[in-house]
Structure 1
């Protein structure tokens, strides 16, 4: 598949994922487990924001690699870290909106922390992936 079409597909998936995450964050919650000591909710938050951040980072990486003009490594990582920061802000915004737009959800600081952890883990995973792929390409 051509890189331009791949980055368009990733963009479409990222947009739909973001819309779905917004809808899921603002709709009436479904009780998965009634045990208040269960951390499954926090794992779901971390996983959701891992996916959000990773999709947008890979969209930028594919977009940059499909252009003929190269972007400096420093500038590219500033963009990628900016995406992680925006995902964290988005998570904070969703928690604030839960408290202001809905009567059935409440903002939770632990959810913000779980969202942030997921975004940071996605950033680290992308850094490792890109560094490993560069190392693999240089060996062959």
Structure 2
């Protein structure tokens, strides 16, 4: 049963993880020991790349025979793009000591696009092998 819903569980868990980390402040954490320039942008990139990959596999798992790779990958990319903008608006509006940044939206978009490239490659390899 778990295997039947694996990507549903992974995708929902990933979305909860990304949402929580995006909305809550971590200003109490001491960052003086580890400093990597633009690390937050790399995190945004990774969050949204993985989101597109897991989201597409989730759609494939749920829609089975009606899955259309080209269409559903586009849908997941647009979902990730809109979700990233939505999170940035929430960061702007909510009093959680978080700041909305246009550079975060750009990192989200680039990560989502990279996720599109990876999932397209994966889907083309698995379709060819069947």
TM-score (norm 1): 0.79
Distance 1:6 1:32 in 2: 39
1:78-114 deviation line (CA, Å, top 9, x unaligned): 1221111011100011011001012511110000000
Larger Rg: 1
Q: Matched residue pairs, number?
A: 128
* Runs of 5+ consecutive residues of structure 2 not aligned to the other structure: none
1:99-135 deviation line (CA, Å, top 9, x unaligned): 1012511110000000111111111111111112222
Pairing 1:117–2:110 present: yes
SS of equivalent residue, structure 2 residue 66: coil
* CA drift at 1:36: 9.0
Tell me the residue number matched to 2:126. Answer: 133
Backbone CA RMSD of aligned residues: 2.4
Distance 2:57 2:32 in 1: 33
Tell me the residue number matched to 2:53. Answer: 54
